[in-house]
Amino acid sequence: MATLANDPRGFRRVFVDSPTRKRYTIRLGKVSAQHAQGFRSKCRALEDAVKLGLTPCPDIMRWLNALADKMHAKLVKAGLVAARTVSTVGPWLDEYIEARSKVIKVRSATRLRETARDLQAFFGVGRSVRLITKDQASQWQETRMLAGLSQATIRTECGNAKQFFNDAVARGLIESNPFAHLKSGSLASAVDAYASADDCHKIIAALPDAKYRLLFGLARWAGLRIPSESRVVTSADVNLADGLMSIRISKTEAHVGKHFRQVPICDHLRGLLQERMGQCQPGERLIAMASDKSLDGHSRRIIAEAMRMAQVERWPKIMQTLRSSCAKDWKAEGVPEFAVDAWLGHNNVTSRKHYTSNVPPQMFTLVTGIVPAARKAARTLADYSGRNEKTRDPQNGNNADLPELSDRFHRVPLGSLPAKIGATGFEPAASWSRTKRSTKLSYAPNLGHQDHLWRKCEHSSGGRTIKDGWFGVSDREMFPILPFWPTP
């Protein structure tokens, strides 16, 4: 059992029973009685762990990790603990990245190497991992800010640094992660540009060939990631008869069930696919270039030049704007949110954060019916939603050529609704004036989808029914769904 001995002039010793011999002396030097007593109690716990063959408790492990190397070496010599693994920043990061590069994407491994080079340059290759503190981690973050990096890039590098040092914690090299307090993770998209159908058709007309026209269309009307998903699309993946296209997802292919998805083929995209498929052999890639780099960078320059020729103002991020515009159109047209997420290959949180976090001005027109004066020329609601202008049926004001959703329901223009949007949102208001009116809601059986509530609204005044019918309200969306009323 460990005991404490006091020497002259404040020097102290601890006698421990090591596995090899009893009464092994550990000299503490000139320390306070309180610290000496604490050291002796920790040594007693280590003696018990060695005798029973157990791992020391977490408190003892944290104490050992914080102990100075010189004193830790004395415990090792006494046989109470194992030798401490001394890991330096340079070799440890190289070893970690080499192991991770076997299971992650090439681009992800490249980003890890870039962060590792920044850490090695700041802390030094030979710096012990255990000696890095939270203050030094904050200073490293400040150097990234002074280097002029964007906030998104800094957050990415901080996330990589957290990943490195979380591994060090798991291996027992350090007690806690000094980078844990730094903010990381992706930022919500600040791009609020919207690619209207009218502008997109102008750009497509200015593109040089069918390959670039299809590339543009896949991003705008199918929401594909460019270039990782567009480069592997072949003619065998396109089913024009059923209006479906199969997409292989390289970004999430390592996850079970996330390597494949299907997207619908709209009328705008159908013509572009037919044009390009007529130029390719069966099974051939529809958009084939020398490398991903040329497909990514060169195609952006080609599209930017086409935008200049079409006199369309360039969007901040071309491919992201096209993909987010596709997501906004689907949601504004009343497609259930779970279907939009599946077509984009995203989860619900990511889709909202990056693609539908900002509402473009065109979306307000879907509700207000008012087109801003600067956009009135050649602008219609059909243009904003990606549809061509349809001929009107003079009897009921509907688009005559729009297919009915079922035998009992058909579309009615928003302007024909008696309801107004009030403080209660898109739910029918209990009263719209001083005249007492009541609203009764009932659920229709076996109608709609699980993400929608199909209700029958009866607005009555003085016992007389003013308007009744079935309409759909999404319980997940901010935009109203176009109402459907029973056909006579």
Question: What digits encode the pLDDT tens for the residues 16-74?
Answer: 987 777 788 899 999 999 999 999 999 999 989 988 888 888 888 888 878 888 888 88
pLDDT at 215: 93
Residue 115 lies in a domain: yes
Is residue 151 included in any domain, yes or no? yes
Predicted pLDDT of residue 83: 84
End position of a domain, from candidates 43, 78, 113: 78
Cβ distance 411 to 398 under 8 Å?
yes
Four-point Cα dihedral 365, 368, 370, 371, nearest 10: -10
The answer to whether residue 381 is domain-embedded is no
The top-scoring range by mean pLDDT among 238-242, 298-302, 426-430 is 238-242
Give me the pLDDT at residue 392, please.
38
Give the pLDDT mean for 337-353.
76
Mark whether 281 and 343 lie in a shared domain: yes
Report the alpha-carbon distance of residue 290 to residue 271 in Å, rounded.
25
154 and 285, same structural domain? no
- Structural domain includes residue 186: no
| Residue 375 scores a pLDDT above 70 | no
* Distance from the Cα of residue 194 to its chain's centroid: 20
Residue 131 contacts residue 138 (beta carbons within 8 Å): no
| Cα-only R_g, the chain | 33
18-32, 148-162, 384-398: range with lowest mean pLDDT: 384-398
| Nearest CA among 238, 285, 229, 239 for reference residue 260 | 229
* Per-residue model confidence (pLDDT) at position 219: 94
Tell me which of 260 and 115 has the higher pLDDT.
115
Does 348 share its domain with 211?
A: yes
> Both 248 and 291 in a single domain?
yes
Residues across the chain: 488
Query: Residue 462 belongs to what domain range?
Result: 409-486
CATH assignment of the domain containing 153: 1.10.150
In a domain, 418, yes or no: yes
**Amino acid in the structure at residue 54:** L
Provide the mean pLDDT of the chain: 75
Supply the pLDDT for residue 331. Answer: 85
- For residue 315, which of 280, 348, 358 has the smallest C-alpha distance? 358
Say yes or no to pLDDT of 367 above 50.
yes
What are 196-214's pLDDT values in tens digits?
A: 999 999 999 999 999 999 9
How many structural domains are present in the chain? 4
Instruction: With respect to residue 219, please indicate whether it lies within any of the assigned structural domains.
Output: yes
Cis check: omega of the bond before 418, within 30 degrees of 0: no
Q: Which of 78, 111, 133 corresponds to the end of one domain?
A: 78
Stretch 245-254: mean pLDDT, rounded? 77
pTM of whole model > 0.75? no
| CATH number of the structural domain spanning residue 286 | 1.10.443.10
In the chain, % of residues over pLDDT 90: 35
Asked which of 362, 383, 399 is the last residue of a domain, the reply is: 362
Query: What is residue 2's predicted lDDT score, i.e. its pLDDT?
Result: 86
Least confident segment among 262-271, 323-332, 369-378 = 369-378
- Residue 352, class by beta-carbon neighbours within 10 Å (0-12 exposed, 13-18 middle, 19+ buried)? middle
User: Number of H helices and number of E strands within the chain?
Assistant: 17, 11
pLDDT in tens, 439-465: 333 333 444 433 333 333 444 434 444
CA distance 485 to 288: 47
More confident site: 160 or 402:
160
What's the pLDDT score for residue 354?
A: 56
More confident: 369 or 272: 272
Same domain assignment for residues 66 and 208: no
Residues 6+ apart with CB under 8 A from 376: none
Residues 254, 313, single domain; the answer is yes
- Identify the residue with better confidence: 485 or 14: 14
| pLDDT one-digit tens code per residue, 469-485 | 433 433 333 333 334 33
Question: Does 20 share its domain with 44?
Answer: yes
Beta bridge partners of 16: 24
Q: Of 21-25, 80-84, 348-352, 436-440, which gets the smallest average pLDDT?
A: 436-440
- Report whether 116 contacts 95 (CB < 8 A): no
pLDDT in the model for residue 358: 62
Residue 416 scores a pLDDT above 70 = no
In a domain, 398, yes or no: no
Summarised one tens digit per residue, pLDDT across range 394-408 is 444 444 443 333 333
pLDDT at residue 403, rounded to an integer = 38
Q: Is residue 183 part of a domain?
A: no
Question: 352, 358, 107, 346: which is closest to 225 by C-alpha?
Answer: 346
For residues 338 and 426, membership in a common domain is answered with: no
Same domain for 358 and 213?
Answer: yes
pLDDT at 436: 37
The more confidently predicted of residues 83 and 479 is 83
451 and 475 housed in the same domain = yes
Asked if 345 and 267 sit in the same domain, the reply is: yes
Confidence of residue 107 (pLDDT cuts 50, 70, 90): confident
Q: Are residues 277 and 136 in the same domain?
A: no
